[in-house]
Amino acid sequence: MDKFTTLTGVAAPLPLVNVDTDMIIPKQFLKTVKRTGLSKGLFYEMRFDEAGNPKEGFVLDQPAYKGASILVAGENFGCGSSREHAPWALLDAGIRCVIAPSFADIFYNNCFKNGILPIALPQEQVDLLMDDAERGANAVVTVDLEKQEITGPDGGTIAFEIDAFRKHCLLNGLDDIGLTMEKAEAIGAFEDARKTSQPWL
């Protein structure tokens, strides 16, 4: 998993509440277990009609927001079914941080396990960042995980809270496998000792 330290990028506004995981990545894209290539299905029903033709106006398809790495959204983002493909699709599209007033628990946890930083802020602060994000290509925002600060286009800062363990994992690029491998030496020593004491296993 890639480390998350400081992220500077264009913030895209998605002022919708209750964006569920089926809106983020519809069910027809869940047939793969690969984490790549899912960006083509990201927000598919908002971006394409039933015939697969592009709709006009979706924020991430607008020139100013191509390559946006931060998404500013409404409350209860990521609700619905517990599909891990949702953060995979966001990450495949280059989104490394989602800022919203609240998140569904499972989606929130899945973000951390996949290198995405979800930041929950009071509505009034999200509204300020939403206004910033509506500036298009000028909506450049910096998220500093170490300092736990968001810096807007005008230089104003907003502090955010994050669990210390999750912060440690993101800063060091540690998913569940990475956390296990940190104990590789102790695991190896245990297995060697067990082979000696219980050779029949």
pTM above 0.85, yes or no: yes
Give pLDDT tens digits for 25-71: 999 998 887 888 999 999 999 999 988 899 988 999 999 999 999 99
Is 136 in a helix, a strand, or coil? Answer: helix
Give pLDDT tens digits for 61-92: 999 999 999 999 999 999 998 889 999 999 99
Give pLDDT tens digits for 113-168: 999 999 999 999 999 999 999 998 889 999 999 999 999 999 999 999 999 999 99
Fold of 6-175: Aconitase; domain 4 (3.20.19)
Centre a 10 Å sphere on the Cβ of residue 51 and count the other Cβ atoms it contains.
Answer: 5
Amino acid letter for position 181: M
SS3 of 37-81: the string is CHHHHCCHHHHECCCCCECCCCHHHCHHHCCCCEEEECCCECECC
Alpha-carbon span 149 to 23, nearest angstrom? 29
Q: What angle do CA 87, 90, 94 make, to 5 degrees?
A: 135
What residue ranges do the domains of the chain occupy?
A: 6-175
